[in-house]
Amino acid sequence: MRQSRSRRDAMLEALAGGAADVDALAARFGVSASTIRRDLQALSRERAITRTYGGALLAHPEPEESLDARTQRHGAAKAAIARAAAALIHAEDTLILDGGSTVAALGPLLRGGQHRVITSNLPLIATLAGAPGIELVLLGGELRPISMSTTGPLAEQALRCMTADKAFMGADGVVAERGLCEATLPQIALKRLMMEQGAEVFVLADASKLGRASQANWARPARPYTLVTDAGATEAQLAPFAAAGIRVVVAC
């Protein structure tokens, strides 16, 4: 399974570079054409590619929504996820909070606690600045207005100086065997580092994001993580995560 996953990830890179023919991919990876077809079928089920006659192409990413637009969607689910995530936090935990509307929903629930909060999520400034007991550390860098978060080498350099007890991550989509997807590589670079610097990793994603490969850039968690989702998630959506050994918390 792990070898197949590694080959499929490499196949995505090959497809991004223009390779699209089954026979060429089989020769490149030293496996049979039937193995390549099975890999392409698996990637198609994940919506990472579009099958063509004799090969495949990378799926077109969906247009990225603004933070304001995302904040207006699935509000009840995000609030429930935030409550479930807050219940996993201990007193005086140091926290890394990713960008995005679902992670931002966790912010108000931290007020009144004793925490160091490291974040690239700019809306959390207004939420947590001046809150008694909260030490707020902002990761400077390049501003992404569409998500109101920071990315880039400056944010990464600052984060490498710090570790945390828990990292709470958002994503455009979450696929059990592949990890988290986002619109840009700088987002992915910072997200991967956040998951490395947190001793425990929690992915906050409502049911609409489970199994969704809406973007072409991926970060695989460096360690086992906990998925926190809402009660709208179906058994079919959750089954791949359970099969992959990922702990799942379903918020009520």
Q: What integer pLDDT is reported at residue 167 of this predicted model?
A: 98
Confirm if 177 and 204 have CB atoms less than 8 A apart: no
Q: Which two tokens stand for residue 227?
A: 């998925």
Reported pTM: 0.78
Q: What integer pLDDT is reported at residue 46 of this predicted model?
A: 72
Residues spanned by the domain of 223: 67-251
Q: Which parts of the chain have pLDDT scores under 50? A: none
Q: What integer pLDDT is reported at residue 246 of this predicted model?
A: 96
CATH number of the domain within which 198 lies: 3.40.50.10470
**13 & 93 share domain:** no
**99 & 210 share domain:** yes
Q: For residues 52 and 136, give the distance between their C-alpha atoms in angstroms, rounded to a whole number.
A: 50
**155 & 88 share domain:** yes
Q: What integer pLDDT is reported at residue 216 of this predicted model?
A: 77
Q: What integer pLDDT is reported at residue 215 of this predicted model?
A: 84
**30 & 75 share domain:** no
**20 & 72 share domain:** no
pLDDT digits (tens, 9 = 90+) for 191-205: 999 999 999 999 999
Q: What integer pLDDT is reported at residue 193 of this predicted model?
A: 97
**96 & 204 share domain:** yes
Q: What integer pLDDT is reported at residue 14 of this predicted model?
A: 72
Q: What integer pLDDT is reported at residue 60 of this predicted model?
A: 62
Look at the chain and report how many structural domains it folds into: 2
Instruction: State which of 58, 75, 91 marks the end of a domain.
Output: 58
Q: What integer pLDDT is reported at residue 51 of this predicted model?
A: 73
Q: What are phi and psi of 230, to 5 degrees?
A: -105, 175
**13 & 53 share domain:** yes
SS3 33: helix
CATH number of the domain within which 16 lies: 1.10.10
CA atoms within 13 A on the CB side of 31: 15
Q: For residues 148 and 97, give the distance between their C-alpha atoms in angstroms, rounded to a whole number.
A: 13
Of the candidates 83, 98, 77, the residue with the CA atom closest to the CA atom of residue 167: 98
**136 & 72 share domain:** yes
Burial class (CB in 10 A: 0-12, 13-18, 19+), 158: middle
